[in-house]
Amino acid sequence: MAENVFKEPPGGRWFLIALGLIINLCLGSVYSWSVFVNPLTKHFTDIGQSVSATDVLLPFSIFLATFAIAMVFSGKYIEKYGPRKMAMAGGILCGLGWLMASTASSVQMLYPTYGIIGGLGVGIAYGCPVAVAARWFPDKRGLAVGLTVLGFGFSAFFTANIATYLIGAFDVMSTFRFFGIGFIVIIALCAMPLTFPPTGYKPAGWTPPAPVAGAHVTCDFKREQMLKTTSFIGLWLCYFIGCLAGLMAIGISKPVGSEVIQIETAMGSFLVGFFAIFNGGGRPIFGTLTDKLTPRNAAMVSFVAIAVACLMMITMAGPGATTVYIIAFAILWMCLGGWLAIAPTATATFFGTCDYPRNYGMVFLAYGAGAIVGPQLAGAIRTASGSYMGVFPYVVGLAVLGFIIAFVMMRPPKPPS
């Protein structure tokens, strides 16, 4: 058993985190979809088709829904075939989705190509580096998982700028093609070293802590056992509310800036990229908080921050209040990114790692639900109230509800029999 304590993969376990971050930079390119909306609309209009904004946004929604659903079913295959093979398979499918989208002769063809095939690939690959990080870092699980998913949050900052350049230099369909080829090559190469640690692995010099409230459990839950716990229900609801509240606010970042704060269009576009830095940075920050404060307390900190940011907008936002707008939305983007670290870390902390990919697949459905409901709910509130400012009171209410659920239900479960 002694060799398991010290044995690490070639390049060290931190090298696996770097590879996972790069893989997620590719997978997170879905968040740069807004860059493609206008060029795609123009492309299909130029070839004689009538295309609405809703038509061009639908591939994005289909992608996110497929992504979340695929996470549920891919978990057991990560255990069966290993993270290397599954990450490579997911990367190839993701790239194929982009490649096939480059041949689309109508916007409807983007639904099965980019939306379903691309989303399926991301859903298969996404859980692999996360599961690897959770197992190689029992001592710094939140930080490791947060750094791994950091790439997904930062992706739009890079891929949106790359896409903008390629669309200008070539055209939108060529950009799909370049991205597809690039993702297949990069993800396949980065996936090759991914592996789980040997049974009984412990980092050198680390002793598992004695079980205390919120600390790493010594028992492992199978998915069927996890689903019966109050801890799972609380975590799922908090994850859903965190994503729903965050995405409701984040989806209106640019229109709030232009319509309410009345900043210039160029400045608004720059700030969306600036906010993406906080979305990425929130993952290791809240991952570390989850390690230090327990998942329950990190979740409550997140909901307090969301409520404070929205109250700032409600009470202080208006024409010229640029500083308030920047601070409030930086917090909101950071908290949404934070939940992409709190939830996977809490899953491993509460339920162990023996069935982690399948367990987190079920938990991740909360993100998919929030990603679909949040932006549409924000649009409905805008239509009903006549202003995007009507969204913020609802987000405050959701944050209060999330805080209560976290306080009551996000506690370590009793060991399974």
Six token digits for residue 213: 């409230």
Q: Which CATH superfamily is domain 2-191 in?
A: MFS general substrate transporter like domains (1.20.1250.20)
- In the block, tokens 């639908």 appear at 58
- Rounded Cα distance between 360 and 362, Å, is 5
- In the block, tokens 């975590």 appear at 235
361 HSE (CA, 13 A, CB side):
26
One-character DSSP codes across 317-368: -STT-HHHHHHHHHHHHHHHHHHHHHHHHHHHHHH-STTHHHHHHHHHHHHH
- Rounded Cα distance between 243 and 368, Å, is 9
- Rounded Cα distance between 408 and 417, Å, is 23
Q: Is 160 helix (H, G, I), strand (E, B) or coil?
A: helix
Could you say which DSSP state residue 117 is in?
I
Instruction: Say if CB 411 and CB 238 are below 8 A apart.
Output: no
- Provide the residue ranges of all domains of the chain, joining segments of one domain with +: 2-191, 223-409
Q: What is the CA radius of gyration of the chain?
A: 21
pLDDT of residue 184: 97
pLDDT of residue 391: 86
pLDDT of residue 227: 92
Length of the chain as a residue count:
417
- List of the chain residues with pLDDT < 50: 1-5, 213-217
Q: What is the pLDDT of residues 33-47, one digit of tens each?
A: 877 877 888 899 998
- Rounded Cα distance between 376 and 354, Å, is 37
Burial per residue of 41-59, b for 16 or more beta-carbon CB atoms within 10 angstroms, e otherwise: bebbeeeeeebeeebbebb
Which of 390, 365, 367, 364 is CA-nearest to residue 377? 390
pLDDT of residue 219: 59
pTM: 0.74
- Rounded Cα distance between 261 and 275, Å, is 16
- In the block, tokens 């990080």 appear at 133
Which of 252, 18, 287 is CA-nearest to residue 143? 287
Instruction: Say if CB 97 and CB 70 are below 8 A apart.
Output: no
Instruction: Say if CB 390 and CB 380 are below 8 A apart.
Output: no
- Rounded Cα distance between 130 and 141, Å, is 10
Q: Is 130 helix (H, G, I), strand (E, B) or coil?
A: helix
Burial per residue of 380-399, b for 16 or more beta-carbon CB atoms within 10 angstroms, e otherwise: ebbeeeeebbebbebbbebb
Same fold, 2-191 and 223-409: yes
pLDDT of residue 187: 97
Six token digits for residue 337: 């990114």
- Rounded Cα distance between 125 and 334, Å, is 24
One-character DSSP codes across 66-116: HHHHHHHHHHHHHHHH-HHHHHHHHHHHHHHHHHHHTT-SSGGGHIIIIII
Thinking of the domain 223-409, which architecture would CATH place it in? Up-down Bundle (1.20)
